[in-house]
Structure 1
Amino acid sequence: MRASEVRQKFFDFFKSKEHAIVPSAPMVVKNDPTLMFTNAGMNQFKDIFLGNREPAATRVADAQKCLRVSGKHNDLEEVGHDTYHHTMFEMLGNWSFGDYFKKEAIDWAWEFLTEELKVDKNRLYATVFEGDAGDNVDRDEEAAQCWQQYLPKERILNGNKKDNFWEMGESGPCGPCSEIHIDLRNEEERMKKGGHELVNKDHPEVIEIWNLVFIQYNRKSSGELTALPQKHVDTGMGFERLCRVLQQKSSNYDTDIFLPLIHQIASLTDVKYGASNDGDVAMRVIADHIRTIAFSIADGQLPSNNKAGYVIRRILRRAVRYAYTFLNVRKPFLSGLLSVLIDVMGEAYPELKSQKELIQKVIHEEEESFLKTLATGIALLDKIIVETLKGEYKVVDGKVAFELYDTFGFPLDLTELILSEKGLVVNRREFEKEMEAQKSRARNASAVETGDWVVLRDDKEEEFVGYDYYETEVFITRYRQIKVKNKEQYQLVFNITPFYAESGGQVGDSGVLVSEEEKVEIIDTKKENDLIIHIAKKLPANPEASFKAEVNVEKRRRAASNHTATHLLHKALRTVLGDHVEQKGSLVHPDYLRFDFAHFQKVTADEIRQVEKMVNADIRANIQVEEHREVPLEKAREMGAMALFGEKYGDVVRTIGFGNSVELCGGTHVHATGEIGFFRIISEGSVSAGIRRIEAVTADRAEELVYSQADVLEEIAGLVKSKGELRKSIESLISQNSRLTKDLEGMMQNFLRIEKQSIIDGADNVNSVSVIIRQVKPELGGNLKDLAFQLRNDMDGEMVAVLGSEVKGKPQLAVILSDSLAENGTLNAVELIRSVAQEINGGGGGQPFFASAGGKNPAGLDSALTKAKALIEEKLG
């Protein structure tokens, strides 16, 4: 049975059980500060479990694309090495929101597996929660009794809290779960040892295929469990594992999900699959990772150095590194897998087809860039190997390996592999210490402690009225205390709100909450899933009072101008550059707007001017907004509304139109384009492969920009004494400056030559070694290293030079030796510099033949040079 048939059978089965089939949410998560990626099927329903939103349907089924590479769900290191772990995977799930519970979930799971898919009943095992005395929760007898109608008691196993109690996080909805495992071993092996002994023991052929979670408790931040008012079912079945079972393969990678990709990798690299273990692992890693990379880019997450983007870049580089190390790939090739991936998954996930050109471009350029990084890292590592072997050491400093990893993106395992070929190892303890220090810094920078919600009123539906009102009467329905970097804040939820929560690129509103007794400042408004959270520095003295919520109107109006201008900019870019232009990110701030879009070359000055003229023409036309709220999604698409990949839209949407610019948008806008006043682009540049970024200003900020530029031109004209021919005057000055610069460079070279000869002539002879101890003039201090190497090249025989200088109030030192002195160990530049740098309150380092240092005490230069002279004379006898 092909994978596509399996997925459809699942949908058809649960549709017959009155489930609504819903699309997968994007793999990249928005509006949830606790997650970067969708790592489980339940993520898009999280607000329903939390009681923040009523479900549109009480029975739902879906196939959810998921990504697990961080936190407790971290499968990255197992990927490719075993038969069933993946980074990106599909989770088939059926859900009940306060409807059916354990019996129906177990009955239908059994029916689907054994009757619809004809899975061998004798190979199946079920686990149930054994209970936990600490939580005062007993064994899940209800689930066990349901299983007894299908399985003998010896195949209904107890599972511990780790395996059979599901929790959303440290707090929140949770409950026992019942897992279905299958024993895929041959008959002979099954006779030798029962499958019940291998369940949850990481056996590659006794694997979990379906997890039925029964959400019936709420975990408070104190750790206490309380019963939920409604019980829910959340199931998740690994699609790749299920296909392996049905296609009777020994590995997920041998199914029709992965095998076409592996065959393409073999074709592109001329390496046969099955020829070697290392090569096979590399191909499986690459086949897995290309799915993650492609889906992430399609969902709007580009590789970068921050947060989710860093995770994707790391996965992409991991694939490149495996290809480089084990398949001898030296040129970009990953983008060549995309067509095969689309053949396999494009029908179920059409975003892969729609975004193909962008995905290929991004992958190619990222891969090309990292291959250069690998070459640079290997060159640096070669130098480290030479120095280590010179010193007859076997262990490379872990700090050096971490710098290669952190600064140059050079993987530790590749460093260790290359070093092992030379008989060297990395000090792993030092490396891990540096890694933990970096993680600790990151944790401290983003640490947020969250308390439990204090519920004042039961109001699950929070209505946003900010499209029509800047202020309204409200009351607080719930609040909680949080700590951000040890600073106390409060999150407040109202029954209704005029405050716009940060989303769709637009920043959140600020304002005040006013009662008869006090005024509380709202510093920001954010979304957490579907909940609108108002952030305040303090809690109102009487949170149960009635309040008036007042938005900062000026800030909102400026943001609205920039949001509407963003729509007009999008339309103008598509007109000028082509229909391939698609929004890939935006920031709508009261002071400016930022717009990222798909385009594969620099936008020329002429094109920028055309775009500006089009937007300003729309502004002068004073086009009235055409807003439609609660429009069925399909109707909105028929109206020509643009939807953005990576955004999750409900069945009912809001459209915003200005002329022929129509987009699905939840942001705030002007009533007519004339309110924007004026539009001006201030910058255009590349963000990453295939993605450009424009920053622009509107209204008074655009006017201020024009005025300031005019003032600068006027000031320049005064400085160059131009009488209307400003360009000619500046060109003349540039030409004159170029001539003077060349003359000055010639004078400096001559000065350097004379000074250098003076230094050489002043050298002392100590046991046939030329010794130079000299404080050089500040004019040469900026080129201290160059001067040191020139002295070494120009002098015959053995030499040592210690040079000092003061540059802009900062002392500098440099030590250089002839190779023979460094190689025979008579002198060591690093040891010398570390000894004498103490005199200038500094430190330094380098290599045995050259080292340098900086410090804070210029007055110590004389004593540093005197100390250097004494140390050198002592060493030379």
Structure 2
Amino acid sequence: MAQNDSTPEWGAARVRSTFLDYFKERGHTFVPSSSVVPLSDPTLLFANAGMNQYKSIFQGTVDPASDFAQLKRATNSQKCIRAGGKHNDLDDVGKDSYHHTFFEMLGNWSFGDYFKKEAIGYSWELLTKVYGIDPKRLYVTYFEGTDELEPDLEAKELWKSVGVPEDHILPGNMKDNFWEMGDQGPCGPCSELHYDLREPENGVYRNAASLVNADDPEVIEIWNNVFMQYNREPDRSLRPLPHKHIDTGLGYERLVSVLQKTKSNYDTDVFSPLFKKIQEITGAREYRGKFGKEDADGIDTAYRVIADHVRMMSFSIADGGVPNNVGRGYVVRRVLRRGARFARKYFETEIGNFFSKIVPTLVEQMGDMFPELRKKEADIKEILDEEEKSFAKSLDRGEIMFEKYAQKAKVKGSNDLPGDDVWRLYDTYGFPVDLTKIMAEERGLNINDQEVEEAQEKAREASKGDKKATAAMVKFDVHDLSALENMNDVPKTDDFAKFGRENITSVIKAIYHNKKFLKSTKEVPEGEQFGVLLDRTNFYAEQGGQENDTGRLLVDGEAEISIENVQVYAGYVLHTGFLKYGELSVGSEVIAEYDELRRHPIRNNHTGTHVLNYGLKEVLGDEVDQKGSLVSPEKLRFDFSHKAGVSDAELAKIEKICTEYIRQNSEVYAKDVPLATARQIRGVRAVFGETYPDPVRVVSVGVPVEDLIADVKNEQWEKVSVEFCGGTHVKQTGEIKELVILEESGIAKGIRRIVAVTGQEAYDVQRQASDFEAQLSRLEKLAFSAEKEAEAKKMQTELNQLVISALSKSQFRERFAKIQKSILDEQKAFAKQDNKRVLDVVTNYFKDNKDAKFLVKKVDWSSNVAKAISEAIKNVSGPKSAIKDKSVYLFSAGDGKVAHGCYVSEYFKEQGADGPKWASSVTPVIGGKTGGKPGAPTAIGNGTNAEKIDDGVEEARKFIEGFKL
């Protein structure tokens, strides 16, 4: 089916709101979708179902102070991603009509409230009566049971009771009808609803029972009712949950497709606006809804892939799941690279800012329901562009290499692409294995996963050896430099290209290993590091506080040198690393490719350092001088002269000035200027005592350098960040996103240090601060209890280890100190009440039993048991005690131990008893030790066998009853 611009009766937005309204009218609370990136749940790569955020309710571990503790019924539309881990639909996207990496899951939940009967009634009524779906097209399933579990015949009978014919009610196995969210966690039998897309023949519907759960594209599952009653334990056993719950998930995109009477989710207005935008950007033909061989030019498949992938990437990035090389970040990167290749191959469009052009259409579609998309739109676009540009550098070359590898396989008469070649496409060109698989399928080639894993392992082992070699980094000494000066064919390196952002072609001028200059890499022992000099380089050598670039030098498909370090010696830029494969010689022409994804945050941090330097001067005054700096991908560090520590108020002002500068999105200008002229620029910042080249590079944030040198004394330049700097910088300050100060400290007399982060790292620490603040707010609301004490101890440790804004940390510490004081005050008050209560028990006993000479009793304390026993015995034996003529032995259990203490009155002491003797009669039974001097009237002890406390009480009674009463 081609694109349809007419507005359907059941538009996508109406379908969603109808579902939510139906359940809100039936007492369900609307709960906004949780983040699709479950940063606080290590068991999940992405949120893959609506129930993820309710896990603590199902497990009975919900925070009693949270809103969720009161929740009985809920409904929402949950953002879900299935593109990695146990639930992974990535390989199917584009090939069929109903798989997506991102989708919405409409759901309704009951937490110990209603169960199967109501859930089944709601789902049948909503589908058939509200949405008006023909019941003849619906089929339901129930759990058929296993040797371990009974079949769910109750669900079967309930479906019959709402009017489902018996031949439309089908049993299902563990795979289809027992739902689990992961390797461990809440689970239970489920009951699915399936829809038959086929039209009736001569007005008669054919029975579709045999096609249910048979992977038939014309009979699809649309809704799953999960009867949550077990928890899958780490040992794989099943334990009943404390309460029975309902968890349902209705595929939003599939429901829209059913109501719009299409056979494909992609033929609905969920996707048509995105297709329209893709067509507008690329100039391609319209979307026609073809699959497989019918989609001869592959364009319809590419439409589906790109629209799906834009949704997945945008929602992931909006929730903090940014592309990187680890876990969920790598899944996002894989999805982007897969989509980029589809865009390039089938739409013949340039890669670099393709996906970001589609994002506004998605925001317009879904920004009202999911406001985080609108809030993060600029960041989503920027991150997508950055990733695309990085991949674009190697996409062309990777495709050429794939063709070479494919031809090589065909020449050999093989349909298998060797694992080594597949791994090299990933390792050198950034092609995820699943992308190479798609390309292989297009060429009728197979990939052996085991071979790829073996190649990966081989590379990993080789890398271990190489990393040992990096311990003694290759360096030039004075003799090497002298030798270079005498080599006419080895010029000093032209490194101007380091200020650009592109790969360049260079010529190897020298190869250096073990104090010798060699002609070829084959002269370097295998696995050992060596150095390379080029005629020109785009790599940044470590200097001025900025860390060096890493990357590679290579001839595509022939040889590659992995560059681990770059240093400059008297104008010679030495690239050090190791040979990955092949052979290179002096005179070889290579592609110089630095790692843009490493340099990008370094650029942010370097310009951020300039902005910070400016902010410090504005707040602390002109006497602030730079004393050192470090610019790495993870953070920036800035040392400066200042007599006193920087107060929180001053830090807040500095951060505010930096933020304003960044938000202005000022352009960053750089130009070489004669040193004498540059020094005259008003307000210019330079490191005292540093020797600068002439001409010197001047970096100005917001004002062209030409304007500065045209009027060097202009007082307006005091309000501009101007520095001498040879580092790499952003083009505009908006790229920095945020600057957050993590730490301010003294490192020497009169020298202070600030550590800060920018960009994504800044977002991450802000998120961590926000998460901790939510925990802190919950702790503040908790009533005094053992749980609050334990939580406070845990959070104290967490706060100390937290890497967040220095200002936030300071504020949290103030709030935490108040919480701790309140806990201490409450402990004291509680202990006082507790001790009085127990003492009252003792005194009242002797009031009621005036002739009694002793009391042996097990008592309960809510506070510190050992301390309470000690206090009670002190009160009984003290000079003001009204019952000093009575003997008392008290026992209490807590945390698996027994606290006990006794007092022996003069009456029993005269008969030969004392505190330690009495206590010693008990320890053989309850374990542990007792304290007290021989002959003393009191003794305090700690036992280790809490389960024997009653026996201990009996033993104490026998001991004292052995004396004359």
Q: Provide the TM-score with structure 1 as the length reference.
A: 0.52
Measure, in 1, the Cα distance between the counterparts of 2:807 and 2:136: 51
Give the C-alpha shift of residue 220 in structure 1.
Answer: 3.5
Evaluate the alpha carbon distance shift between residue 579 and residue 44 of structure 1 in structure 2; reply closer, same or farther with a 3 A threshold: farther
Q: Is the CA contact (8 Å cut-off) linking 1:26 and 1:647 kept in structure 2? A: no
Is the partner of 2:262 in helix, strand or coil?
coil
Measure, in 2, the Cα distance between the counterparts of 1:92 and 1:356: 24
Equivalent of 1:342, from 363, 367, 388?
A: 363
Alignment of 1:431-446 (within 5 A): 431=452, 433-434=454-455
Matched, 1:169 2:189: no
Evaluate the alpha carbon distance shift between residue 231 and residue 431 of structure 1 in structure 2; reply closer, same or farther with a 3 A threshold: same
Equivalent of 2:382, from 344, 355, 361?
A: 361
Matched, 1:202 2:211: no
Equivalent of 1:185, from 198, 203, 216?
A: 198
Is the partner of 1:669 in helix, strand or coil?
helix
Give the C-alpha shift of residue 168 in structure 1.
Answer: 3.2
Comparing 163-172 and 233-242, the one that deviates more: 163-172
In the other structure, the counterpart of 1:574 is 659
Give the C-alpha shift of residue 171 in structure 1.
Answer: 3.5
In the other structure, the counterpart of 1:92 is 106
Give the C-alpha shift of residue 224 in structure 1.
Answer: 3.6
Matched, 1:57 2:57: no
In the other structure, the counterpart of 2:698 is none
Equivalent of 2:336, from 309, 316, 321?
A: 316
* Higher CA-based Rg: 2
Alignment of 1:47-86 (within 5 A): 47-53=56-62, 54=64, 55-86=69-100
Matched, 1:249 2:262: yes
Measure, in 2, the Cα distance between the counterparts of 1:83 and 1:290: 17
Residue 108 of structure 1 aligns to which amino acid in structure 2?
A: Y
Alignment of 1:409-558 (within 5 A): 409-412=430-433, 430-431=451-452, 433-434=454-455
In the other structure, the counterpart of 2:42 is 33
Write out per-residue CA displacement over residues 227-262 of structure 1, whole angstroms, 9 at most, x where no aligned residue.
323100000001000110111111100110101111
Measure, in 1, the Cα distance between the counterparts of 2:435 and 2:777: 49
In the other structure, the counterpart of 1:105 is 119
Matched, 1:290 2:310: yes
Identical-pair percentage: 42
Measure, in 1, the Cα distance between the counterparts of 2:85 and 2:737: 45
Give the C-alpha shift of residue 373 in structure 1.
Answer: 1.5
Is the partner of 1:45 in helix, strand or coil?
helix
Q: Is the CA contact (8 Å cut-off) linking 1:654 and 1:665 kept in structure 2? A: no
Equivalent of 1:300, from 317, 320, 338?
A: 320
Residue 575 of structure 1 aligns to which amino acid in structure 2?
A: E
Write out per-residue CA displacement over residues 606-649 of structure 1, whole angstroms, 9 at most, x where no aligned residue.
99999999999xxx9xxxxxxxxxxxxxxxxxxxxx99999799
Residue 179 of structure 1 aligns to which amino acid in structure 2?
A: E
Residue 193 of structure 2 aligns to which amino acid in structure 1?
A: I
Evaluate the alpha carbon distance shift between residue 20 and residue 374 of structure 1 in structure 2; reply closer, same or farther with a 3 A threshold: same
Write out per-residue CA displacement over residues 584-605 of structure 1, whole angstroms, 9 at most, x where no aligned residue.
xxxxxxxxxxxxxxx975769x
Evaluate the alpha carbon distance shift between residue 425 and residue 71 of structure 1 in structure 2; reply closer, same or farther with a 3 A threshold: closer
Q: Is the CA contact (8 Å cut-off) linking 1:27 and 1:295 kept in structure 2? A: yes
Write out per-residue CA displacement over residues 86-110 of structure 1, whole angstroms, 9 at most, x where no aligned residue.
0010011111111110111111111
Alignment of 1:726-737 (within 5 A): none
Measure, in 2, the Cα distance between the counterparts of 1:199 and 1:108: 22
Measure, in 2, the Cα distance between the counterparts of 1:173 and 1:440: 40
Give the C-alpha shift of residue 4 in structure 1.
Answer: 0.9
Measure, in 1, the Cα distance between the counterparts of 2:182 and 2:128: 33
Write out per-residue CA displacement over residues 645-702 of structure 1, whole angstroms, 9 at most, x where no aligned residue.
997997995899xxxx9999799634499xxxxxxxxxxxxxxxxxxxxxxxxxxxxx
Evaluate the alpha carbon distance shift between residue 579 and residue 43 of structure 1 in structure 2; reply closer, same or farther with a 3 A threshold: farther
Measure, in 2, the Cα distance between the counterparts of 1:58 and 1:664: 39
Residue 236 of structure 1 aligns to which amino acid in structure 2?
A: G
Measure, in 1, the Cα distance between the counterparts of 2:163 and 2:651: 59
Q: Which has the higher contact order (CA 8 A, sep 6+)?
A: 1
Evaluate the alpha carbon distance shift between residue 144 and residue 575 of structure 1 in structure 2; reply closer, same or farther with a 3 A threshold: same
In the other structure, the counterpart of 1:721 is none
Matched, 1:7 2:20: no
Evaluate the alpha carbon distance shift between residue 146 and residue 610 of structure 1 in structure 2; reply closer, same or farther with a 3 A threshold: closer
Give the C-alpha shift of residue 141 in structure 1.
Answer: 2.2
Q: Is the CA contact (8 Å cut-off) linking 1:166 and 1:174 kept in structure 2? A: yes
Evaluate the alpha carbon distance shift between residue 650 and residue 187 of structure 1 in structure 2; reply closer, same or farther with a 3 A threshold: farther
Unaligned runs of 5+ in 1: 443-560, 582-598, 621-641, 674-877
Evaluate the alpha carbon distance shift between residue 419 and residue 23 of structure 1 in structure 2; reply closer, same or farther with a 3 A threshold: closer
Measure, in 2, the Cα distance between the counterparts of 1:289 and 1:243: 19
Q: Is the CA contact (8 Å cut-off) linking 1:569 and 1:615 kept in structure 2? A: no
Measure, in 1, the Cα distance between the counterparts of 2:444 and 2:280: 34
Is the partner of 2:40 in helix, strand or coil?
coil
Give the C-alpha shift of residue 201 in structure 1.
Answer: 0.9
Evaluate the alpha carbon distance shift between residue 613 and residue 572 of structure 1 in structure 2; reply closer, same or farther with a 3 A threshold: farther
Give the C-alpha shift of residue 10 in structure 1.
Answer: 1.3
Measure, in 2, the Cα distance between the counterparts of 1:435 and 1:648: 39
In the other structure, the counterpart of 1:669 is 812
Is the partner of 1:178 in helix, strand or coil?
strand
Residue 177 of structure 1 aligns to which amino acid in structure 2?
A: C
Evaluate the alpha carbon distance shift between residue 59 and residue 192 of structure 1 in structure 2; reply closer, same or farther with a 3 A threshold: closer
Measure, in 1, the Cα distance between the counterparts of 2:278 and 2:373: 19
Give the C-alpha shift of residue 376 in structure 1.
Answer: 2.6
Is the partner of 1:187 in helix, strand or coil?
coil
Measure, in 2, the Cα distance between the counterparts of 1:196 and 1:610: 60
Q: Provide the TM-score with structure 2 as the length reference.
A: 0.47
Equivalent of 1:42, from 48, 51, 55?
A: 51
Give the C-alpha shift of residue 344 in structure 1.
Answer: 1.3
Evaluate the alpha carbon distance shift between residue 613 and residue 174 of structure 1 in structure 2; reply closer, same or farther with a 3 A threshold: closer
Q: What's the C-alpha RMSD, in Å, of the aligned pairs?
A: 4.5
Measure, in 2, the Cα distance between the counterparts of 1:99 and 1:179: 21
Unaligned runs of 5+ in 2: 1-9, 464-645, 667-728, 751-765, 781-803, 817-965
Matched, 1:405 2:405: no
Alignment of 1:223-234 (within 5 A): 223-234=236-247
Give the C-alpha shift of residue 397 in structure 1.
Answer: 3.3
Residue 115 of structure 2 aligns to which amino acid in structure 1?
A: F
Q: Is the CA contact (8 Å cut-off) linking 1:299 and 1:647 kept in structure 2? A: no
Is the partner of 1:118 in helix, strand or coil?
coil
In the other structure, the counterpart of 1:814 is none
Is the partner of 2:57 in helix, strand or coil?
helix
Measure, in 2, the Cα distance between the counterparts of 1:645 and 1:115: 47
Equivalent of 1:122, from 107, 124, 136?
A: 136
Matched, 1:258 2:271: yes
Measure, in 2, the Cα distance between the counterparts of 1:671 and 1:212: 47
Residue 576 of structure 1 aligns to which amino acid in structure 2?
A: Y
Measure, in 1, the Cα distance between the counterparts of 2:403 and 2:814: 64
Residue 80 of structure 1 aligns to which amino acid in structure 2?
A: G
Residue 121 of structure 1 aligns to which amino acid in structure 2?
A: P
Residue 45 of structure 1 aligns to which amino acid in structure 2?
A: Y
Give the C-alpha shift of residue 12 in structure 1.
Answer: 1.1
Is the partner of 2:305 in helix, strand or coil?
helix
Evaluate the alpha carbon distance shift between residue 568 and residue 335 of structure 1 in structure 2; reply closer, same or farther with a 3 A threshold: same
Evaluate the alpha carbon distance shift between residue 437 and residue 243 of structure 1 in structure 2; reply closer, same or farther with a 3 A threshold: farther
Measure, in 2, the Cα distance between the counterparts of 1:145 and 1:609: 58
Residue 303 of structure 2 aligns to which amino acid in structure 1?
A: M
Give the C-alpha shift of residue 438 in structure 1.
Answer: 9.1
Evaluate the alpha carbon distance shift between residue 199 and residue 268 of structure 1 in structure 2; reply closer, same or farther with a 3 A threshold: same
Measure, in 2, the Cα distance between the counterparts of 1:150 and 1:183: 17
Measure, in 1, the Cα distance between the counterparts of 2:397 and 2:358: 26
Is the partner of 2:351 in helix, strand or coil?
coil
Residue 152 of structure 1 aligns to which amino acid in structure 2?
A: P
Residue 230 of structure 2 aligns to which amino acid in structure 1?
A: Y
Is the partner of 1:8 in helix, strand or coil?
helix
Is the partner of 1:204 in helix, strand or coil?
coil
More strand by share: 1
Matched, 1:151 2:171: no
Evaluate the alpha carbon distance shift between residue 215 and residue 609 of structure 1 in structure 2; reply closer, same or farther with a 3 A threshold: closer
